Structure 1
Amino acid sequence: MSLSEAELADVKAWLYSPEQNLNLTSTTSETLSQTDNYIWIIESLYPNKTGILAYLDGDAPMPERYARVVINEGGKLVPDVSEYYVGPLPVSLNTTIQTLDYFYSRSARIPFNARVGDGPRYAAIDSIVAKTMSSIADITFNLTGLQYFGQDDARSNAAYFAQSPASMDGSTSHIWTPWRRAGLAPYDQPSDLYVNFDIGGSDPILYKCRMIVYNLVVYTSVEDFREAFESGKITKTPSPSSDESFLRKDRKGPVRELENRFAPTSVELDGKRYKVDEENRYVEYLGWSFYTRFNRDVGIQFFDIKFKGERILYELSLQDAVAQYAGNNPFQAGTAYNDRFYGIGIDVGRLVPGYDCPYHATYWNTTLTNGEKVVNKLNGLCIFESDIGHPITRHTDSSYIQSTKGSKLTVRQIATIGNYDYLWDYQFYVDGSIGVDARASGYVQANYYRPDDEGKWGPRIQETIAGTLHTHVMNWKADFDLIDCENTFQKTDIIVENITQPWYPEHGTFEQMRYNISELQTEDEGLLDSPKNGQSMYTIINKKHTNKWGVPRGYRVIPGLSNVHLASHTNPFFLKSGQAYKQSFGVSRHHDTEPGSSAALNQNLPAAPMVEFYKFFDGESLVQEDLALWFNLGMHHYTRAEDIPNTLMTEAHSSIMFAPQNWGDVEQTTDLTNAVIFNKGVLVPRSEYVQPETNGVNPPDCFKLGTDDGLIGVF
């Protein structure tokens, strides 16, 4: 659960008390600067699994609550950013503060140069940016039509973005600033100008311009740039258009025939078939039950997922969403985003009824802490049941027809992180399957169009812009606890071998398929790609628990659409911080000291991240152990003209499913009443029609059926 207003107030008061010796400045101070000590995050600490299971499954007391606190400590002799845990809560004489080292591969303290880009940090950066750009405003206006004198100066018509990552290991901090026209979606109004700054250390007086690039020519100082301009040595390229109409989604063109009618929508004619406890963030649906949690870094997380009373997953949670770009300019070539850094949860927005979610969906507000405040976002999550668009089983025989309705419960969140809107669906199917879907829309981060690039980094999509080649990868943790914590990862490979068979003497030696079944023995084998041609089945099983046929009960991992990972494995901007995104799957032993594959402050530490994922894989046994599956969804974004004004979610889509595999003795849906059976010979009196068996479930009277919709049928 999130910290309550009262808990947050108590923790803040305790932290600010002189006895703690933290020398904190209030985040509401008008003079707050990056050289102060101030709080960046206070939130409920992610609880240890061992303590939670001892409480849920045993007779241990509920684990004590703690707060996670991140402090920007710019006022120290050696400034840094430190993560702490404070507790136990409620605050008492027993409350202490300790560094949160056990969560991370390295120390919970990171260098100042790798700190978050918040308001005080950006204010310091803008001082050198405004000073530099003001001195060359006449040149930039001549070359690009853009000029910049500072964020609050009315003469400024340009906007910039501080490149991420800004540091490799925290020892230095350099940023490229791409220059764009200010206004709607500046991501798609780039110029051909890029300026690099050294922003290392906490004293802005020492910051300086390092380099200017225009038309791909490098100038090593402002003086060199001005000398080249005044001597006529600069070749001018087209300025970004001042017409931003191409970025707007206003309806245009003739109306399509019949498009004036209301589009099909999901409805709940017979009332909701799921139950929610909003206070405890708990959901039940046709055999499913689970709890949820919501936080700043990643938004919604799922815990204690059970089907028909048996635990399937202890945890299912997004870890991070990353994007790696490419391009023939210094900004795109060095861009690698960790969206957790910016706050996926804090960027979750209000959902639009009827469009983002069906009308009559259940909406939950999203409550989280951001900085020193509790933030409540209206209708940030939606929950709804829907028809999956096809029966979940069906068959027609000579004297028998059956069809079982397919439905699922979806929990959805949408976060707008900079230029992209990400939609994440968590789906719980009536057959015991779980689906995770990821989609993206929003504005592409466009390249400045250069004919000489020949489309190598994306096609031309507007007058002065080209699409940008980039890859989105989203990593999840799926902590399977099938019945208990002793699980095994099984691979079933379809192999083709040459055989002879005595009943086919005329064929001699020929190819035939068979299974080859193996198990991952240790974490040394735990990094996996998606099976080529689908010729391997990945299954989490529990060898201690079998169905009545003696087969271990399990859940299959089924890759869906676009299960991509990063194409580059040695790029410096994701050198070690991007390890979780460089293969489709990872299987490791669960440890309370390895709760997640990423951290918000990994962003500016690609060479020395707080969480180094490959350190999880240190040779431990994976046979009948507590396993965590790490999986990736994503898209290689092959940009196209249709990305203007916004990327289409139909194509920018990735998915995965977890499905029962010998989980029960029979198929999982025979207990569903939304099913129909026709048995030949069961006739309606005085007619040739067959009377269907509907288990007492029929469309309500308000749902008028047409002539062809009647359930009564004929063989």
Structure 2
Amino acid sequence: MNGMDDEYKNSARQWRGYALILLVFLAFLIVGFAVLIVYYEIIRRSESVGCQRTAMTEQHFRGAQGHTLFQDLTERELRALELYLYSNKEFNLKRKNKFAPNASYLYNIELLVPNKTSVLEFLDFVGTPEPPREARVVLFRGDKPSPVVEEYAIGPLNNIGNHRLLLTAPYRYRPVSAIEIRAVRKMLKQIDFMLKFVLEETFEASFFDCNTQCLTMDHYTPISSAVSDRDARLVWFWTHYKVEQPMLNPVDFFILFNLDGPDPRKFHIEKLWFAGEEYRSSADLLEAYLSGNVKSSPIPFPVDPESFPFDKIPKPLIRLRSPKVVEPDGHRYSVNRGRIQYMEWDIHFRMSTTTGPQLLDVKHQNKRILYELSLQEIAAYTSGHHPWMRYSNMVYSSHLFGRRARSLIPTVDCPLHATFVPVTTSKEGTAELVTLPGAFCVFEQDSGIPLRRQSGDKLFSGLSDISLTLRSIISIQSCEFILDFVFRLNGVLETRVSMTGFPLGTLHTPQELRYGFRIRENFIAPLRQFSFHFKVDLDVHGRENRFESIDIEPHNVYTSDWLEKEGKNFQNLKIRRDLKMTEQKAAIKNNSDKFYMFHNEKIKTQYMDASAYRLQLPGGMTPQLLTPGTGNEPSISWSRYHLAVTRHKPAEISSSSIYATWDSENPVVNFQNYINDNEDLIDKDLVAWVTLSTYSVPSMESLPVMQTVGNLQSFLLSPFNYYKDDPSLISRDTLDVRTKSSIREKHVNNYGITKTFMCSIEYQVTDEESLFQNDTYKNNLVNGMK
């Protein structure tokens, strides 16, 4: 009996062992199947699927080519211009190795867009010949007995045979050129040789032969004749440590150079500022230093980080990537030789070497809304105690905006899926073509907020605010200006500008505290007012337009109109239309959120109201507080007005000039004169001039770079009784949801475009290096050149 019990027990233990082994095997089998499912369904599938793009013919089109009369100069045209300029003895141009300020100097060449009348005749009337292409050429004529700046129109570019003088400007008004920078550098070598040990003892650095601890003198403040009360060309140059963030590391050493006249041998130093004291020459400073009369505290050379360091724990703690924009079906727009076609929009665009981004012949639903929308000027007026801060009234077009455009960086400046468009310009001092890749980007995006929506018990209908953006970025000195033109589905065109970059500052002193805040141990960043000026040449139902405002004002009524009781007053708001008859009536200094309308009196709605476009200015723009006519204010007389409307004139093509930094004594282009003649505006070709302005008061959070948030200004052009209903109603991006008799039964109308897609990897980017090498970016860059 005991034997049988032992046998039974042994058998039971064996079966339990088999069961345990089987259980473990099944567990491993289940885990294995789970791993395979995860691998094939999630990892491998996402790698192979990526973004499934629907290649539909109606969504992939090349689009019409842009008109050649708007396209920038070609290399062949520049070679022809070079031959004409250097072979014509009237210009007296010398080759590069012989350039000097006292010779004839080729400063700039760019396209001269034909006059508006001839352009519109060509665009609107079949059979009208295309206007001849011409170039605008700027020459510094230091070779003449009375030096002068001359601007010429030269053409036709396909067979150059003539030139005509466009304007002349005083020689001392010329923009700072590479020739003068080289002359300053030559004088700086002499200063460095004499004061080398003074600089090294005080700042642990010098300008030349300094290995890794060097000083640089790149930033400058021009002093106009209106400020100095002298017929001289004076410039304060600033000194900074030559580190990754030089603008944040100023040095208490400034030099005032006199760069007057065409002869560089006569350039000289007016004064030096060192360690809080002013000196007449390098010799005076050296003598004072050696005699112990200079009170200076040695400043250690700053630590130069390789990048902006985190002084806190980076967020998010887990390395999770940020959201990305995708195009599930590819581009829904075309870019072809300076022309964009998107939904109902048709736009030409270019980059002017002088004034920057420019839109031309802008149409919506095949109707011209604008002939031109372009940046005209950017001004930055700085406040401060010391002369290099106090007189730092920079009018930036002297830097030539087109040459200051920057190649845009995918995923930061623009989405990776954007089309990157190169621009061409000429190199200063030559007729050499310079190509800047990716200076424009074009992209469509969803803002993440509804453009419109409506909902009820059984109906929802909505459309997200989807738009196309044309972007460029201009970098000047310490500032980066981001310029956007945004085209929306409802016929609205938004123009906006935002700022970033290093805050401009100087060494902290008690006198500077009234102008700004101390944001580092020895660094104070003062108040600056930035102003941006735009030309808006509207053609609403043709060129014969009127300008009026719709004013909102209080209206007193009586309750007795509708109630039995008498004697009580009631107040509401009413509208009042104010037709602006003359240019002075249309010069608006303080925007008060009025409705500004442009319309053709001959075109009405079915209810006999004006079919108009509205120019909408934002609230919160800063006023121009400077007294007109004082200091450098006359150079930016356009900034006196948030909005001014004038008659179109061929002689009034721009509101500023490349000479505006220097010409406040007698502006070459005086915008105030556009208004002073006070011409009639009724049924005329009208041009609106818009000023956007803002104050910049840097704080510690502005370090190391100011943010764009809070530094954005914009204005809008919107249809106002121009269409019978909302133009976006035809958009297939609309989503309608209707609830039927059963709450759970819904009918979804997506207008033929599914709102769902699978996209785990849109673009194959394996690392930051491959960001600029992946096929999508390269294709988008190439497409922008077509």
User: Paired residue for 2:157?
Assistant: 89
Match of 2:439 in 1: 380
1:173 and 2:233 matched: yes
Instruction: Give SS of 1:388's match.
Output: strand
Q: Residue 590 of structure 1: CA displacement?
A: 1.0
What pairs up with 1:338-349 in 2 under 5 angstroms?
338-349=395-406
Q: Note the C-alpha offset of 1:700.
A: 4.8
CA distance in 2, matches of 1:214, 1:594: 46
The structural deviation recorded for 1:126 is 3.1
Q: Which residue of 2 aligns with 1:690?
A: 746
- Residue in structure 2 matched with residue 71 of structure 1 by the alignment: 139
SS of match in other structure, 1:365: strand
- How far 1:573 moved relative to its partner? 5.1
Cα offsets for 1:482-501 (capped at 9, x unmatched): 12011122111111244324
Distance 2:157 2:99 in 1: 29
SS for the counterpart of 1:642 is helix
Partner residue of 1:58? 125
Report what 2:459 is aligned to: 400
1:263 to 298, 302, 322: 322
Match among 331, 336, 340 for residue 272 of structure 1: 331
Task: Select between 688-697 and 386-395 the one with higher mean Cα deviation.
Answer: 688-697
CA displacement, residues 557-576 of structure 1 (integer Å, 9 cap, x when unaligned) = 22237533543244755332
Alignment partner, residue 10 of structure 1: 80
Could you give the per-residue CA deviations for residues 312-351 of structure 1, whole angstroms, max 9, x where no partner exists? 1111111121111111211011112222211221121221
1:303 shift after superposition = 0.6
2:152 counterpart letter in structure 1: Y
**CA distance in 2: counterparts of 1:421 and 1:242, whole angstroms:** 24
Q: Is the CA contact (8 Å cut-off) linking 1:190 and 1:240 kept in structure 2?
A: no
Aligned to 2:608: 550
Q: How many residues align?
A: 681
How do 1:422-461 and structure 2 match up within 5 A? 422-450=481-509, 452-453=510-511, 455-461=513-519
Equivalent residue for 2:591, pick from 525, 531, 552: 531
Find the counterpart in structure 2 of residue 322 from structure 1: 379
Instruction: Give, as a single letter, the amino acid of the residue that structure 2 aligns with 1:639.
Output: P
Partner of 1:123: helix, strand, or coil? helix
- Match in the other structure for 2:12: none
Q: Which residue of 2 aligns with 1:313?
A: 370
CA gap of 1:142–1:696, structure 2 versus 1, over 3 A, is same
TM superposition score normalised by structure 2: 0.82
Aligned equivalents of 2:130, 2:168: Cα separation in 1: 30
Match in the other structure for 1:185: 245
- Following superposition, the deviation at residue 20 of structure 1 comes to 3.7
Could you tell me which residue of structure 2 aligns to residue 707 of structure 1?
none
Aligned to 2:734: 675
Question: Corresponding residue for 2:46?
Answer: none
Q: Any residues of structure 2 matched to 1:164-313 within 5 Å, and which? A: 164-168=221-225, 171-214=231-274, 216-222=276-282, 225-226=285-286, 228-236=288-296, 239=299, 241-245=301-305, 248-251=307-310, 253-257=312-316, 260-277=319-336, 279=337, 281-313=338-370
Structure 2 equivalent of residue 712 of structure 1: none
Quote the Cα distance in structure 1 between the aligned partners of 2:663 and 2:188. 23
Distance 2:300 2:486 in 1: 43
Deviation by residue 1:456-494 (Cα, 9 ceiling, x = unmatched): 222111221111211111111111001201112211111
Q: Would you say 1:158 and 2:225 are equivalent positions?
A: no
Quote the offset at 1:155 in angstroms.
Answer: 10
Are the aligned partners of 2:379 and 2:532 in contact in 1 as well (CA < 8 Å)? yes
For structure 2, the residue ranges without an aligned partner over 5 or more in a row are 1-70, 761-786
- Larger mean CA deviation between 7-16 and 216-225 belongs to 216-225
Task: Indicate how the Cα distance of structure 1 residues 572 and 243 shifts in structure 2: closer, same or farther if over 3 A, else same.
Answer: farther
Q: Which deviations, in whole Å up to 9, do the C-alpha atoms of 1:139-166 show, x marking residues without a partner? A: 44444445446xx786983222463434
Using the aligned pairs only, state the percent identity.
24
Instruction: For 1:331 and 1:475, locate their aligned partners in 2 and report how far apart those are by CA, in whole Å.
Output: 25
Q: Please tell me whether residue 25 in structure 1 is matched to residue 94 in structure 2.
A: yes
The 3-state SS of whatever aligns with 1:669 is: helix
Three-state SS of the structure 2 residue aligned to 1:68 is strand
641, 645, 648: which one aligns with 1:590: 648
Cα distance, 1:214 vs structure 2: 4.0
Query: Relative to structure 1, is the Cα distance of residues 454 and 206 closer, same or farther in structure 2, using a 3 angstrom cutoff?
Result: closer
573, 594, 605: which one pairs with 1:513?
A: 573
Aligned CA distance change for structure 1 residues 227 and 276 (closer, same or farther; 3 Å)? closer
In the alignment, which residue of structure 1 is the partner of 2:769?
none
Distance 1:288 1:507 in 2: 55
Greater percentage in helix: 2
SS in 1 for 2:409: coil
2:712 pairs with one of 635, 639, 653: 653
Equivalent position SS for 2:450: coil
Aligned to 2:659, what secondary structure does the other structure show?
A: helix
Cα shift at 1:254: 1.7
* Separation in 2, partners of 1:207, 1:695: 71
SS at match of 1:459: strand
Mapped contact 1:459–1:466 kept (Cα < 8 A): yes
Shift of 1:119: 1.9
> How far 1:443 sits from its partner (Å)?
1.2
Q: Distance in 1 between matches of 2:454 and 2:748?
A: 14
Cross-structure match for 1:105: none
Q: For 1:369 and 1:116, how far apart are their aligned partners in 2? A: 16
Offset at 1:601? 2.5
Partner of 2:106: helix, strand, or coil? strand
Distance 2:451 2:253 in 1: 55
Q: Any unmatched runs of 5+ in structure 1? A: 101-107, 705-715
User: Aligned partners of 1:142, 1:340: CA distance in 2, in Å?
Assistant: 39
Rg bigger for which structure?
2
Structure 1 counterpart of 2:53: none
SS in 1 for 2:347: strand
1:387–1:406 Cα contact (<8 Å) kept: yes
- After TM superposition, the structure 1 stretch with the greater mean CA deviation from structure 2, 693-702 or 546-555, is 693-702
Aligned pair in 2 of structure 1 residues 330, 238: CA closer, same or farther (>3 Å)?
farther
1:368 matched to 2:425? The reply is: yes
- 1:41 — aligned with what? 108
Contact 1:561–1:655 under 8 Å retained in 2: no
> Aligned pair 1:126/2:185, yes or no?
yes
When the two chains are superposed, the root-mean-square deviation of aligned CA atoms in Å is: 2.5
Q: CA separation in 1, counterparts of 2:715 and 2:693?
A: 11
Following the alignment from structure 2 to structure 1, what is the Cα–Cα distance between the partners of residues 613 and 606? 17
Decide which of 643, 664, 671 is 1:606's aligned counterpart.
664
Match in the other structure for 2:529: 471
Determine helix, strand or coil for the equivalent of 1:84. strand
Which one of the candidate residues 346, 359, 373 is aligned to 2:416? Answer: 359
Q: 1:226 to 1:47 in 2, by over 3 A?
A: same
Q: CA offset at residue 241 of structure 1?
A: 4.9
**How far apart, CA to CA, are the structure 2 residues paired with 1:212 and 1:370?**
33
For 1:388 and 1:550, how far apart are their aligned partners in 2? Answer: 36
CA deviations 1:579-609 (Å, max 9, x no partner) are: 1223211111111111111112222212222
Contact kept? 1:24, 1:36, Cα under 8 Å = yes
What is the alpha-carbon distance in structure 1 between the residues aligned to residue 438 and residue 378 of structure 2? 22
C-alpha contact 1:181 1:240 (8 A) present in aligned 2: no
Aligned-pair distance for 1:110?
Answer: 2.1
